[in-house]
Each structure stands twice: as structure tokens, then as C-alpha cells.
Amino acid sequence: MLHRMTYVIGSLAYFISLNFRILFKRLIEPQAVHIGILMDGDLGDMVASEPIVGALHQKYGKVALYWITEKKYFPVFSEHPQITEMVDEYNLLVARFLLCWNPFSKFYFLQLSDFRIEPEFQIPLKNEKADAFGIQLNNYYHQFNLLEIASQLADLGIISGQPHLYVDSQALQCTLPATYWVVHCKSNAGLRDWKDEHWIKLIQEAIATWGVHVVEIGMKNPLPFTHPNFTSLVGKCDIMETMKIIKGASFFIGLDSGPTHMANAFQIPGLVICGEFTYFKKYMSYSGFYQEAKHSRVLFNLHGRAEGLPYDEVWQALLALQEK
């Protein structure tokens, strides 16, 4: 009981202070449209939604744009020239408060109903606009990619566009060769993963065929593999460092994941390994470079999850991309 009371009081105090701060900014800069965007909990969704930032500036003119998310995701847009401030969501109870009342001129919640549930009181976050559009967790990929969903929720209609990311000027903390490939092999939930033995064989053959240096990135469970031309940085890099590593790559191979959306944003030629995911047998989450598929391919297992995609099919797709 005391824990809950402390939790609620702390959340309410933060919510009130945030309201006063934004209202003060509106008071001293009344000519700007102060836009709040609430989206957290999914790195790929954030990156894919980036084109709405420019579209909102184009729609409203002078804009002060605040992206509300968890602090750990701040580096994704911390260097973005059109985002005024990254705002700490604090917790999901504060997010729930913001859905009831907020201090912004315009406010957009970019996630679907029931995607996130406040853990203390088990309150699901609802998106009435998404519900009105009929866009739900069990059907959203049937008609739209992630940008098309976000743009509708931001009152922009269905837009297309190339996502962009920006990094700071600090040098990489790790030492890598001038030319390298990046692989991302493990998803958060494991539902999108390909088999470890396939990844290892693919890396071995890529090194033998093209003499490349391969860098593995990710948060957990590195491949059980060593080679002079292989560097594992799994669990060793923050988001900004990961973005810089991907930006510097000459080729990218990954799952449908946040790092793969980063590779799309940096327009790195690549191969994306996909398969059935929750309610969706086939879908397109990307806009821009990976959707256009001129120097990349999103390869699907049409008979199940990505883990069932045959090795030879992936290898042939990789060969074809290297011949372009």
C-alpha cells in the first residue's frame, strides 16, 4: 500500500511539474505550435516514425516538438535538428495521465491500444484514434507499414518517406577496420530469430568469399563464434555507439528489429531475415530504402517463423545482392 501511494504521488508530482514547464514554454513562445509526441517501448517504431517530424514542421510552420519516451531511448533523436527536446516519460502512469490531459498545443500518441500496460495497476494504455481507424495489434500490418500507422495517428494522413537519424561528433569508442559488415542476430523476444548455426555458417562463408570483417551487435546472447575477421560487440555498446557502428558499415544483415530500422535510416545496403510474426505471415515494416529494395532485400519465410528459413535461400539472396 505504501509503495503504491509513493508511486502515485511521485508520478503525479512529475506530471504536474511537466505541465507547468511546458505551459511556461508556451507562454514565452506563443507563436510556436508546441507538439508533444508520446511513443516509447519500441526502438524500431521510433526510427520508422521519424519522417513525421519533418511533416509536422511542414504542416504547422513554427514548431516546438517534444518527443516523450524512456530516457534510455533519448540517443535515438537527441541530435535531431527538428526535435526541440527529448522528454522523460518517467513511467507509464504518467503516460496514462498525459492521455487524459496534457499541456501541449497538439498531442499525438503513436502506439496502439493495449501495446503497453501500466504494471502497478495493470492499466492498458488506450489509443482512441487508432481504435477509430480500426488499427489494432492483430491487424496493423495487414494494410500499413509503421510510418503509415504513425502518420495517421499524427493527423498527417498516410505519408511515405525515408527515415533519417543523426549522431553526435564523438569518435567511436571501439576500434574497427575501415570497411566492415554488421550483423544483428537476436531479437528481444526471440520470435524473429534465425538459427545460430545458420548465422555462423553465413558469417564464415561471407568471410571466405569476400574477405570481409563482420561485426555483431545486439543487447544479449552473442553468437558462440570466434574468427580473426569477426568482432562481437554484443552488450558492449549504448544506442548512440550502435548507431555510429551501423552508419559506418558497408553492408548489414539482420532481423526485423530496431538496429535494422537504423540501417534503413542510414541507407546501408542490407538483407533482412523475416518470417511469421504474431498475427502476420508477411508484412512490410519499412519505408524508404529497404521498402524500395534497390540495394536490399527483405527475405520472408512464407511457411513459418524466420527460424525456419532455409540456409541456402538466405545465402543465394546474399550472393544476388553482392552481385548488384
CATH number (domain holding residue 276) = 3.40.50.2000
Task: Work out how many domains the chain is built from and give that number.
Answer: 2
Per-residue model confidence (pLDDT) at position 48: 98
d(C-alpha 142, C-alpha 135), whole Å: 9
Mean pLDDT for each 10-residue chunk of the chain (324 residues)?
90 98 98 96 93 98 97 97 98 97 98 94 96 97 96 98 97 94 90 95 98 96 96 96 98 96 98 94 95 94 94 97 89
Q: Is residue 291 within a helix (H) or strand (E), and if so which, with residue range?
A: helix 289-292
> In terms of domains, do 6 and 145 share one?
yes
Is residue 168 situated within a structural domain? no
Which of 153, 168, 190 is at the close of a domain? 153
Per-residue model confidence (pLDDT) at position 249: 98
> In terms of domains, do 58 and 140 share one?
yes
Q: What is the rounded (10 degree) CA torsion for 195, 201, 207, 213?
A: 30
> In terms of domains, do 17 and 147 share one?
yes
> In terms of domains, do 122 and 187 share one?
no
Is residue 174 situated within a structural domain? no
> In terms of domains, do 241 and 114 share one?
no
Is residue 159 situated within a structural domain? no
Contacting residues for 245 by C-beta, under 8 A, at least 6 apart: 172, 174, 176, 182, 215, 217, 233, 237
Per-residue model confidence (pLDDT) at position 186: 93
288: left (phi over 0), alpha (psi -120 to 50) or beta: left
Domain extent, residue 268, equals 181-322
> In terms of domains, do 37 and 149 share one?
yes
Neighbours of 91 (CB within 10 A): 18
Place of cell 502512469: 93
d(C-alpha 315, C-alpha 93), whole Å: 47
Per-residue model confidence (pLDDT) at position 92: 96
